[in-house]
Structure 1
C-alpha cells in the first residue's frame, strides 16, 4: 500500500510539473512582444548573400534594424528539415559537388524530397553568379539543416550580445506536390515543429505558407504559434481570410496588393500586414506610409 501511495505521489508531482511547464510556456509565448515593425531579410537577404544560408542570416544580423530572419523549408528523403526555397536544385545558381554546372536538362533530376541530406549538402549554393542579384557576394556554401541554422543564429545572439531575432519560416509545399516534392502537410508540420520546439525558440517563430493546410494545422494543434498567410491573388481581404478559415497573426500579401483599404480592414480585425518582396526604396517608403506592420525584402539594408 505504501508503494502504491508513493507511486501516486510521484504521478501527481509529474502531472503538476507538466501542467506548470505547459502553462509557463504558454504565458512565456504570450509575453514575447512581436516587433512594432518587422524588418525582414528575405531568404536571409538574397540581394546581398547566397539565399537561405547560414552566412546570409549572419550577415543580416549585423544590421541593427533587422528584427526578423525570413526563410523557406523543405523536407529531405531522410526526413531532415532543410532551409531552401525551390523544389529542385536550381541550375540558375547551384553547382554540383565537383563545381560543375547543373544542366538545364537535369533541372528535375535533383528533387530535395528525393535526396538524403548527406548528398544534398555537398552541392554548392554560393559560388555561381545569380544574375538576378548582381550585388550578391559569392561564397562557397551549402543548403543547411534548419537545426544547424538556428544553432548558428542563437550562438551569435548569445556570444555577441545581440538582440533576439524572430524567425519567419515558410513551409514549401502544395497539394500537387504531396508525396512527390513534399510530404503531406501533417508530416511536414510535425517534422518542422519538432525542430523548433527542440531548439526552444517557439515564442520567436512565425510559420508562414501559401499552402493554407500547414498553417491551419499549426492553428489547430499549436494554437500558441504565430501564423502568416502568404497570398498573391486578386481576392479581397475578406475573401482571403474566409478561404483560410481563421484570422492569422499576419496576412502577408504580395506588395503590389497592398493599399490603404486592405491595411485598414486587417488592422480592424487585429491582423498584421507584412508584404513581400519590396526591393526598392520607393516601394518600401510607399508601404511604410500605409502603416504596414513590416516588410520582407531581398535588400534588408534598404528597410
Structure 2
C-alpha cells in the first residue's frame, strides 16, 4: 500500500513539475558557451541547471530528423570534410534535405567557433540526430543525478522552402518529427514550437483527432502580438513565444488571462533578463544559461 502511494506521488510530481516555477530554456543548448545544437551544448546547459533544452530540427535526404537551426551548412561556423571552411557563397548549396545523414555528419560544426559568440568554446562536433540527442541527454541526466528537463523542439519550416529545403508537405515533416519524439519521451516532457503557423495548426488538428499525443504547442513570433497570433492560429497555444524586446506587461497579462504561458526569446543580457522577468513572464530562452542562474 505504501509503495503504491509513493508511486502515485512520484507520478504526480513528475507530471506537474514542468508546470511550476520559472522556465529557464537553453537556446540551441547553450549557444553562447558551446557549439550550437550540439550534444556538448546540451550537456553544458544541463550542467547549468536549465529546466528546458531548446533545439531546432530539419530533415535529411534519407528522412532522418537532424538537430540543426538552418536546413543548410552555415558559413559562420561549419567546416567541410576536407578541413576548409564553408564559404558564404556555397552555404545554401549544402542543402541538408539533399544530403544523407552520413554526409551531414562529416561536416564539423564546432572547431572553428562562432565569431558572434566569443565565449563559445571551440570543440570538434557535428549535427546530431534528434534521437541521438535525446538519448545522450537522458543518459547524462541519469549519470550526473540531475533533474529531468523538458525538450522544446522547433520545427524549422518556411513556406518558401516546402519541397526544396524540407519535405513538400507539413504532414510528412511533422510525422517524421512526431515519431522520433514519441519513441523517446512522454508527451508532458516536450514542447513543439514553430514560426510556421501551418505546422502548429497541423499539430493541433492531429492532437484534437487523437492522432498525436497531447504535446503542448508554442507559437514563435517576431512582431505579432498575442491577439493577432491567436486569431491566425484559430486556437490558443500553450505558449506564446515572442521576441523579448517587443513584449509588454499588458501582453503578458492578456496571455495569462487566457491561460497561455509566455516565454520570450532570446534574452542574453542580465539586466534584460531581470526586466523581462519583472513583467511576469513564465520563463525565457537564452544563449547564456549561466547568466540566468540567479533568476
| TM-score, with length taken from structure 2 | 0.90
1:243 equivalent in structure 2: 232
| TM-score, with length taken from structure 1 | 0.87
State the alpha-carbon separation in 1 of the partners of residues 277 and 38 from structure 2. 28
State the alpha-carbon separation in 2 of the partners of residues 170 and 177 from structure 1. 16
Secondary structure of 1:140's match? coil
The answer to whether residue 215 in structure 2 is matched with residue 225 in structure 1 is yes
1:91 equivalent in structure 2: 75
Secondary structure of 1:136's match? coil
Deviations 1:164-193 (A, max 9, x none): 100000000111110011112111110001
Deviations 1:230-281 (A, max 9, x none): 0001x33211110111100000000012111000100000000000001101
2:89 equivalent in structure 1: 105
The answer to whether residue 110 in structure 2 is matched with residue 130 in structure 1 is no
2:178 equivalent in structure 1: 193
Aligned partner of 2:158 among 169, 174, 199: 174
Secondary structure of 2:32's match? coil
Provide structure 2 residue ranges, at least 5 long, that are not aligned to the other structure: 1-11, 209-213
Measured after TM superposition, the shift of residue 104 of structure 1 is 2.2
Deviations 1:175-234 (A, max 9, x none): 11100111121111100010011113322000000001112122121351101000001x
State the alpha-carbon separation in 2 of the partners of residues 29 and 114 from structure 1. 40
Secondary structure of 1:264's match? helix
CA 1:135–1:33 in 2, change beyond 3 Å: closer, same or farther?
Answer: closer
Secondary structure of 2:43's match? helix
Aligned partner of 1:120 among 81, 104, 107: 104
* CA RMSD, 1 decimal: 1.6
The answer to whether residue 286 in structure 2 is matched with residue 297 in structure 1 is yes
Aligned partner of 2:31 among 39, 43, 46: 46
Counting matched residue pairs gives 275
Contact 2:33 2:121 in 1 (8 A): yes
Contact 1:93 1:128 in 2 (8 A): yes
Contact 1:125 1:142 in 2 (8 A): yes
State the alpha-carbon separation in 2 of the partners of residues 31 and 292 from structure 1. 19
State the alpha-carbon separation in 2 of the partners of residues 221 and 32 from structure 1. 26
State the alpha-carbon separation in 2 of the partners of residues 82 and 239 from structure 1. 31
State the alpha-carbon separation in 2 of the partners of residues 301 and 197 from structure 1. 30
State the alpha-carbon separation in 1 of the partners of residues 16 and 206 from structure 2. 20
State the alpha-carbon separation in 1 of the partners of residues 20 and 137 from structure 2. 18
Question: Which runs of structure 2 are paired with 1:23-62 in the superposition (5 Å)?
Answer: 33-62=18-47
The answer to whether residue 133 in structure 2 is matched with residue 149 in structure 1 is yes
State the alpha-carbon separation in 2 of the partners of residues 216 and 50 from structure 1. 32
State the alpha-carbon separation in 1 of the partners of residues 13 and 165 from structure 2. 36
Measured after TM superposition, the shift of residue 119 of structure 1 is 0.4
Secondary structure of 2:28's match? helix
Contact 1:41 1:297 in 2 (8 A): yes
2:250 equivalent in structure 1: 261
Contact 2:18 2:150 in 1 (8 A): no
Provide structure 1 residue ranges, at least 5 long, that are not aligned to the other structure: 1-26
Secondary structure of 1:73's match? strand
Structure number with greater Rg is 1
Aligned partner of 1:215 among 179, 200, 220: 200
